[in-house]
Amino acid sequence: MTKVITEKHPFMQKVEQLYQKMEELGIRLDYGGAGGLTITDTEKNVEYRLKDKETSEYLPYFPTGFEYKLTFETS
């Protein structure tokens, strides 16, 4: 059974604050499967990807819990 939490639920309020802050900062998070997590600067339309500093593997979640670096592709 799937339940939906209400807008007044304390965790829902935290998630809403997170969404508002990300919109204010011009940030979008997208999970691309095996390619890991993409963090987009929506103001400049630049996509960054999270990689583990030690292994250089793409990280699939945020916050990472690991030391990370942001990478991007250039043309």
Element housing 37 (H / E): strand 37-41
Instruction: Name 12's Cβ contacts closer than 8 Å, sequence gap at least 6.
Output: 5, 6
The answer to whether the bond into 63 is cis (omega within 30° of 0) is yes
- pTM for the whole thing? 0.79
Look at residue 47 and give its three-state secondary structure.
strand
Residue from 47, 66, 42, 41 nearest 56 by CA: 66
| 4: confidence class by pLDDT, cuts 50, 70, 90 | very high
pLDDT of residue 69: 87
**Statement: residue 35 has pLDDT above 80:** no
